Structure 1
Amino acid sequence: MRRALLLPLSHSSVAAERFAHRLGQLVNIETPSGCVKGLNSAYDLLQEWAGDRLGRPERVIRKGVPHLHWPNTDPTVPRSRRVLLLGHADTVWPMGTLEENPFAVRNGRATGPGVFDMKAGLVLAFEALRQLGDVAHVSMLVSGDEERGSITSRALIEEAASTCGAVLVLEPSQDGAVKTARKGVASYRLGISGRAAHAGLEPENGVNALTELAHQVLSISELADLGRGTTVTPTTGGAGTTVNTVPEQAFVNVDVRAWERAELERVEQSLRALQPRQPGAGLTFEGGVNRGPLEREMSLDLLRTAQDIAERLGLEPITEARVGGGSDGNITASLGLPTLDGLGPDGGGAHARHEWVDIASVEDRAALVAGLIAVRAA
């Protein structure tokens, strides 16, 4: 039986220099979510770095969005030993951001759009693979719409993960900590119908959808349970057509996040049970759970393994964090697969113009990921 060979950690500057160079190459390809041209250019670069070590990759197009998948097709490797490296190439930044915020490295920090979330994690994956003698048990998936909720890539993620025994998510770390829990995420749109009327001549003949919206927003906000960490946040909304007309239509979008699936279900049931406050008004609901929670028990074994590896290699102790934002790790954990998130390098400022990565953290983090892969393969 083939086993992964973990090569010695070099503690040289070569890996850091290579990482910084490659990170610059990748950041200088702008990849807004779903941007076909940019994503394909980034995938070309990733394929070049991978060479033939992971086998032949697939460009999988779902609803017009390309994704890059190296499947594990070796029939001699049992599922329990297979590891999926999971990440995304898309960023929240629109085309043209590089002109005002170019990639740069100063005082050991790399900056630029998408540098922390999560192009550094993709580059780190290949640094980790360099430390392994055998990668026959590794598959890798890079999606192109994670920042939009993985709408087109969800099924592909589920398919890829279902062939593996563990998932390592290369999303950014949280102040150096791996992420062992993430809130589940749900999104809803409440539509309100009323009846139009002239605002000056006969407003009493209308049913004001904006007034109904105000009532509903207050009711929706009351569904939060901050003691349990459940947030229910009206985010965007609108109503009306002209300044002298009683609004006939209105809407509000609602963001829901919770540590427990039961809480997501409670909020959804409550939202769907809302009733109009004005006679003649109507309510419609769209949406649902986008990502279930990544609960700690799905990460615990991998966390302990990571802590053992760090101690054995003389790395800084591995700590854990739970965060409110969702990732594709939520999807794989919901399938019942051991999932450890936040394995990317140290840094900060996700989704902010000042996002940055600590170049010096890369080598140790790559050694940790390589160690996790090797242990799972043994």
Structure 2
Amino acid sequence: MIDDLAELVTCESFSSDLDAVARSAELVGAMGARHLGAEPEFLVIDGVTHLRWTFGEPRVLLLGHHDTVWPIGTLKTHPWSVVDGVARGPGVFDMKSGLVQIFHALAGMESLDGVSVLITGDEEVGSTTSSKLIEESARGLAAAFVLEASADGGALKTGRKGTSDYQVEVYGKAAHAGLEPWNGANAGVELAHQILAIAELGPQVGDGTTVTPTVLSGGSTVNTVPARARVGVDVRVTTLQAQRQVDELMRALGTTVPGTRVEVSGGPNRPPLEEAMSASLFALAQRLSPDPLSSASVGGASDGNFTAGVGCPTLDGLGGVGGGAHADHEHVIVAELPRRAALLRALVGAVLTGTNLT
């Protein structure tokens, strides 16, 4: 498992470098073929390379991604290493260790009939080309197991907030800021009103909802009344109802400054993974694990949000145990790799044999 992990980590796969993602896909495909005894489908969508293995009529989906947030060349400053039982390197935790666990878990099974494996290439940038593929692959199945990295202490992820992304554009009228500012309509001032209103939407909806103004821009020169300004908005919700409510409120934003108008674009990106969608699978994992298991609900989204969104029971966070996702201290505890692979193998086997999940 360490050798396989080293091979994956030292093949950099920055999401925005499609050639690097394609090279990574070739490596992942060859590794999977060695362990699973079958070649994958290579699915290239808008230049992004995804992989899928299908054995018989699928009943269970194993889901992961091979792209990372780390730019090409990161290995020079964050080299692959294993020291004192801890593996380090770009993407080792999020989530190349999870891919190794998929292959080794399935390699130990007598039959793969009913198993589907999907490994995407754009999860870190919002799964824009793979979301429909994920939903198609998960719809109607008995279970989806997501090999994203674990939560703190190895906890499985039984809930994830859904995400929405918006751009709020304010249009005004330019004028000379010194000679006749009164003849303008200040888009910057209106944007300030918008930001304050948007920041109140999270508490208004409640239930753990966060609505956060993020990237700001506007204006052209220091002596010109801004004719245009914009803000990006990040939304995290725990329920579909909250996601719909935020969408309605965002699209109902009005203006305060005379002569300005506002346009709102964007919308929901990932539905929430509600804990009800993972409860039965987490209970099954607790019964199968020789060690106590804990669970966590987290703010970050994953492709498991899509599988849950189409009604497929989903358990997330089955991947590497460690920490530092997207950070300089990213690492994986090596001793946990075979343990997590064994748990995954037991879970897949239980679903395939029809174990009662309630």
Shorter chain as normaliser: what TM range? over 0.9
Q: CA deviation at 1:240?
A: 0.8
Conserved? CA contact 1:121–1:171, under 8 Å: yes
Cross-structure match for 1:241: 220
Q: Residue 136 of structure 1 is aligned with which of 113, 137, 140? A: 113
Distance verdict in 2 for CA 1:54–1:230, change over 3 Å: farther
Conserved? CA contact 1:184–1:293, under 8 Å: yes
Q: Deviations over 1:340-368 (max 9, x none)?
A: 00000211111111111000111111100
Q: Which runs of 5+ in 2 are unaligned?
A: 354-358
Query: Partner of 2:272: helix, strand, or coil?
Result: coil
Conserved? CA contact 1:54–1:70, under 8 Å: no
Normalised to the residue count of structure 2, the TM-score between the two structures is 0.94
155-164 or 88-97, larger mean C-alpha shift: 155-164
Q: Does 1:155 align with 2:132?
A: yes
Task: Specify the code of the residue in structure 1 equivalent to 2:283.
Answer: R
Cross-structure match for 1:275: 254
Q: Residue 207 of structure 1 is aligned with which of 185, 196, 207? A: 185
Q: Does 1:168 align with 2:114?
A: no
Q: Does 1:30 align with 2:7?
A: no
Instruction: Give the Cα–Cα distance (whole angstroms) in 1 for the partners of residues 228 and 338 of structure 2.
Output: 55
Q: Residue 29 of structure 2 is aligned with which of 47, 68, 86? A: 47
Task: Specify the code of the residue in structure 2 equivalent to 1:271.
Answer: M
163-172 or 180-189, larger mean C-alpha shift: 163-172
Q: Deviations over 1:258-292 (max 9, x none)?
A: 11111111111111111111111010011111011
Q: CA deviation at 1:319?
A: 1.2
Conserved? CA contact 1:185–1:290, under 8 Å: yes
Instruction: Give the Cα–Cα distance (whole angstroms) in 2 for the partners of residues 46 and 109 of structure 1.
Output: 22
Instruction: Give the Cα–Cα distance (whole angstroms) in 2 for the partners of residues 144 and 38 of structure 1.
Output: 10
Q: Deviations over 1:285-311 (max 9, x none)?
A: 11111011101111111111111111x
Cross-structure match for 1:60: 43
Instruction: Give the Cα–Cα distance (whole angstroms) in 2 for the partners of residues 48 and 309 of structure 1.
Output: 31
Cross-structure match for 1:7: none
Instruction: After TM superposition, list the pairs within 5 Å mapping 1:241-260 onto structure 2.
Output: 241-260=220-239
Query: Partner of 1:224: helix, strand, or coil?
Result: helix
Q: CA deviation at 1:130?
A: 2.3
Instruction: Give the Cα–Cα distance (whole angstroms) in 2 for the partners of residues 168 and 255 of structure 1.
Output: 27
Cross-structure match for 2:356: none
Query: Partner of 2:332: helix, strand, or coil?
Result: strand
Conserved? CA contact 1:34–1:66, under 8 Å: no
Q: Residue 307 of structure 2 is aligned with which of 315, 332, 356? A: 332
Q: CA deviation at 1:34?
A: 4.3
Cross-structure match for 2:320: 345
For this pair of structures, how many residues does the alignment match?
A: 350
Task: Specify the code of the residue in structure 2 equivalent to 1:156.
Answer: L
Instruction: Give the Cα–Cα distance (whole angstroms) in 2 for the partners of residues 280 and 302 of structure 1.
Output: 55
Conserved? CA contact 1:58–1:69, under 8 Å: yes
Conserved? CA contact 1:169–1:339, under 8 Å: yes
Instruction: Give the Cα–Cα distance (whole angstroms) in 2 for the partners of residues 258 and 39 of structure 1.
Output: 30
Instruction: Give the Cα–Cα distance (whole angstroms) in 1 for the partners of residues 140 and 162 of structure 2.
Output: 23
Normalised to the residue count of structure 1, the TM-score between the two structures is 0.90
Conserved? CA contact 1:172–1:343, under 8 Å: yes
Q: Which runs of 5+ in 1 are unaligned?
A: 1-18
Query: Partner of 2:231: helix, strand, or coil?
Result: strand
Instruction: Give the Cα–Cα distance (whole angstroms) in 1 for the partners of residues 132 and 47 of structure 2.
Output: 14
Q: Deviations over 1:118-154 (max 9, x none)?
A: 1111111112112212112211111111111111101
Query: Partner of 2:111: helix, strand, or coil?
Result: coil
Q: CA deviation at 1:339?
A: 0.6
Query: Partner of 1:150: helix, strand, or coil?
Result: coil
Instruction: Give the Cα–Cα distance (whole angstroms) in 2 for the partners of residues 289 and 148 of structure 1.
Output: 15
